[in-house]
Amino acid sequence: MSQTPGASRRERVREFLRRLGAAPAASNHDEAMKQVADVLNRVEDEMTSIPYDPTFPLNDGRMYPPKSDSKRSVPGLPGATRYRSKGHSTVIGDNGAIRIIDHSAGKVVFDKAGADGRLIDQGDRP
């Protein structure tokens, strides 16, 4: 059953992206995934009254971090892993880079380099 979310989803997404952008660059995949989860959960805890549910319901109104069962490789981008969610994908690089793609808009809405200064599609180039 859906609960009253508090702040709108748009406001929460905007705050999530702002905080994720302000966080230090991650140095590897696991660190980046933890950062995405921590920042998103913090935003949802602060801006909604919807409690976290580890069963990951799709209809409670809360946004949840990517789960490992949505993990896919990214053709043409070795060292990158895509996590497909409803309406978007989160791509995490082995170097800690983070890219979020909005499928409804067909565009990248967030792109952050890893600690090595490289974006998802920059690979091993200098």
Q: Answer yes or no: is 62 within a domain.
A: no
Q: Answer yes or no: is 2 within a domain.
A: no
pLDDT of 1 higher than 50: no
Q: Answer yes or no: is 112 within a domain.
A: yes
What is the rounded average pLDDT of the residues 94-119? 94
pLDDT of residue 5: 54
pLDDT of residue 87: 84
Burial label, 4 (beta-carbon count in 10 A; 0-12, 13-18, 19+): exposed
pLDDT of 19 higher than 90: yes
Q: Answer yes or no: is 65 within a domain.
A: no
Range of the domain at 114: 9-51+70-122
Q: What is the domain count for the chain?
A: 1
What is the rounded average pLDDT of the residues 59-85? 89
- Beta strands 107-112; 98-102: pairing state: antiparallel
What's the mean pLDDT when you consider all of the chain?
89
